[in-house]
Amino acid sequence: MAALTDQVVVVTGASSGIGKAIALSLAAQGVTLCLVARNLEALETVAEIARATASQVLLYQIDLTVDEDIQQLKTRLEQDLGAVDLLIHSAGVITLGQMKTASLEDFDWQYRVNVRAPYALTQALLPMLTVRQGQIAFINSTAGLNARGGVGQYAATKHALKAIADSLREEVNADGVRVLSIYPGRTASPMQAAIVETEGKTYHPERLLQPEDVANAVLNALSLPRTAEVTDINIRPLRKA
């Protein structure tokens, strides 16, 4: 497996769930870890754990729906480190609702976070990633492959995210940049707990994928030798609903 030690890693949505698990798994590899989220207090909690193993941990409290914040992040990364090797897009939001009642405001919000933000951040950091022949990972969802009733807005954003990743891969592979999409099924996380509550069901996190399961799959893919590229990972809970 290829060593990730001392590489500069940017993880969005790093304050909880899959993003937190990925950040901590990468910290254990001795990377320079850049944690990105809106909740600074939650980021500090993750950073406290990560500092035990990471080469360096930096915190960036930004709102990915604000273009100025993304440009500020780019500038700060250039000033603080001057390079980026790995970009992990894990920030995401979801609202449920059928088309006849779902609000367009909710649709716009999901689009801003799930589609436009990763597109804009990738665009901003791509020059640094290209110089380092880096890697980009998009944490998608099973909804990005198959839509079902009640999640049409969310599924549409995740289908769009798949298109962005697939198109980007074709554009940057020649430059030595690898692009990975991960499609997890239901994963034990604060987001999933909120979804289950909205559905009026009982939350059983032990029956779901664990964030660490997804993190392990991502880490293995990112650590492969440069003769290979994993393009897509579909991962499901063993116990199906």
Domain ranges of the chain: 8-235
Residue-wise pLDDT tens digits, 86-95 = 999 999 999 9
The pLDDT of residue 49? 97
By three-state DSSP, how is residue 37 classified? strand
Q: Closest Cα partner for 123 from 89, 159, 158?
A: 89
Q: Please say if 154 is a catalytic residue.
A: yes
Architecture of domain 8-235: 3-Layer(aba) Sandwich (3.40)
Locus of tokens 């909690």: 45
pLDDT band at residue 204 under the 50/70/90 scheme: confident
Does pTM surpass 0.85?
yes
Residue-wise pLDDT tens digits, 128-169 = 999 999 999 999 999 999 999 999 999 999 999 999 999 999
Of 60, 119, 154, 183, which is the active-site residue? 154
> Average pLDDT of the chain?
94
**In the sheet where 86-89 sits, what is the strand order?**
56-61, 32-37, 8-12, 86-89, 135-139, 178-184, 232-235
User: Using an 8 Å Cβ cutoff, are 39 and 64 in contact?
Assistant: no
The residues, ordered by sequence, that sit 6+ positions from 170 with a Cβ below 8 Å of its Cβ are none
The pLDDT of residue 190? 78
pLDDT band at residue 239 under the 50/70/90 scheme: confident
